[in-house]
């Protein structure tokens, strides 16, 4: 009987499905030192973003040779040393299809929150303030959305934003996508200079260097909005704060941070920042789809 370690939680129906199929499931989060001991006993490990599967963990698994498969319940694989694991004969898979819709909707939610002061209004009204005259927002319709990274999530966001009357510009390392003729492929510099809203949907660099820093902020339109539901390392947080404080940016919507949980209080308390604690894929529907995809991956490999 194959043993599966689920470290960061998983859809209950999917767990039950695996149990019904005869797999032994252990749902338990372990810190790095304990995980090095425990991983030796399992054939499959299912993680989300909290568990980091680095070289030391993989080396421990190799000692017994039991671990054959690591599954990331989500899209990004930056918390797993993928190439090292695969060099040791351990397959690494993710669930790229399951959470695209949820992340795209959250990015759109941040856009609405910033455009109409929804987040800060919730705060100030609870403080007894009635800032009706202060919160004069803008309409999404007619604005230009620049999407950096035009994979599944970027495409979902483009479809929804276009339906709301937005003009869509996008940039992607793979070049133009002919399946989206109503969206316009542009260079990154052109996107930065023309977009009213810029939404990031790209993986972080291997060296953790930011794609969006002081230089990129200087190229943006005055009063633009930045949305990051990708990876915290993609944005230089200090440069972001400078852009917000100078008025270069009108606001930022953030679901991810360089450090998680974040301790950047200047960012957390900024009145023109809309915040969520890395919940892009945290919908009932997305978690169900992720669970189903995990089950499918395990069935294919065992």
State the helix-helix crossing angle for 284-301 and 100-115, rounded to 10 degrees. Answer: 160
Based on the fold, state whether residues 135 and 255 are members of the same structural domain.
Answer: yes
Does 85 lie in the same domain as 166?
Answer: no
Question: What mean pLDDT do residues 163-187 have?
Answer: 98
Q: What is the pLDDT of residues 74-98, one digit of tens each?
A: 988 989 999 999 999 999 999 988 9
Task: Give 134-169 pLDDT, tens digit per residue.
Answer: 999 999 999 999 999 999 999 999 999 999 999 999
162 and 201 part of one domain: yes
Residue with tokens 């599954």: 71
pLDDT in tens, 26-54: 999 999 999 999 999 999 999 998 999 99
What does the alpha-carbon distance between residue 227 and residue 111 come to, in Å, rounded to a whole number? 7
| CATH number assigned to the domain comprising residue 80 | 3.40.50.720
Q: So which residues are the catalytic ones? A: 231, 259, 278
Rounded CA gap, 295 and 299, in Å? 6
Which two structure tokens, joined as six digits, stand for 193?
């200079």
- Span 107-120, pLDDT tens digits: 999 999 999 999 99
Task: Count how many domains the chain has.
Answer: 2
119/89 same-domain check:
no
- Pair 119, 104 in one domain: yes
Q: What percent of the chain has pLDDT above 90?
A: 95
Which residues does 16 contact at the CB level (< 8 Å), separation at least 6? none
Q: How far out from the chain centre does Cα 153 lie?
A: 9
pLDDT higher than 90, residue 185: yes
Q: Which residues contact 166 (CB under 8 A, 6 or more apart)?
A: 140, 141, 142, 143, 144, 145, 197
Question: What token pair was written down for 276?
Answer: 């969520």
Asked if residues 145 and 161 have their Cβ atoms less than 8 Å apart, the reply is yes
State whether 158 and 245 are in the same domain. yes
**Does one domain contain both 128 and 89?**
no
Asked if residue 109 and residue 245 are part of one domain, the reply reads yes
Quick one: tokens of 138?
């803008």
For residue 112, give Cα distances in angstroms to 33, 164, 171, 285: 43, 11, 22, 22
Select from 296, 282, 288 the least CA-distant residue to 13.
288
Beta strands in 149-223 (DSSP E): 167-171, 184-185, 197-200
How confident is the model at residue 205, as a pLDDT? 80
Spatial distance between the Cα atoms of 108 and 104, rounded to a whole number of angstroms: 6
Which residue range is the domain that position 60 belongs to?
A: 3-98+283-301
């Amino acid at each position: 009987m194959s043993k599966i370690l689920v470290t960061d939680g998983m859809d209950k129906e999917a767990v039950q499905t695996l149990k019904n199929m005869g797999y032994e499931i252990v749902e338990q989060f372990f810190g790095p030192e304990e995980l090095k001991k425990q991983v030796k006993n399992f054939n499959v490990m299912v993680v989300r973003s909290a568990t980091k599967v680095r070289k030391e963990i993989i080396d421990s698994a190799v000692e017994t040779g039991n671990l054959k498969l690591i599954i990331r319940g989500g899209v990004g694989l930056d918390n797993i040393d993928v190439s090292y694991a695969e060099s040791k004969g351990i397959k690494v898979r993710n669930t790229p299809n399951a959470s695209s819709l949820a992340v795209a909707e959250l990015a759109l939610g941040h856009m609405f929150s910033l455009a109409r002061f929804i987040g800060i209004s919730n705060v100030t009204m609870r403080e007894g303030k009635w800032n009706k005259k202060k919160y004069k927002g803008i309409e999404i319709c007619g604005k230009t959305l620049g999407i950096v990274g035009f994979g599944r999530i970027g495409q979902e966001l483009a479809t929804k934003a276009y339906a709301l009357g937005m003009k869509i510009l996008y940039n992607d390392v793979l070049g133009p996508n002919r399946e989206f003729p109503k969206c316009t492929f542009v260079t990154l510099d052109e996107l930065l200079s023309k977009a009213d809203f810029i939404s990031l949907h790209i993986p972080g660099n291997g060296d953790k260097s930011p794609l969006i820093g002081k230089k990129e902020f200087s190229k943006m339109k005055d009063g633009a909005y930045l949305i990051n539901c990708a990876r915290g390392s993609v944005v230089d947080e200090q440069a972001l704060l400078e852009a917000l404080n100078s008025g270069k940016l009108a606001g930022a919507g953030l679901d991810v941070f360089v450090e998680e949980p974040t301790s950047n209080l200047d960012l957390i308390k900024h009145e023109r920042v809309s915040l969520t604690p890395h919940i892009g894929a945290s919908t009932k529907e997305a978690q169900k789809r992720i669970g189903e995809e995990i089950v499918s991956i395990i069935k294919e490999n065992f």
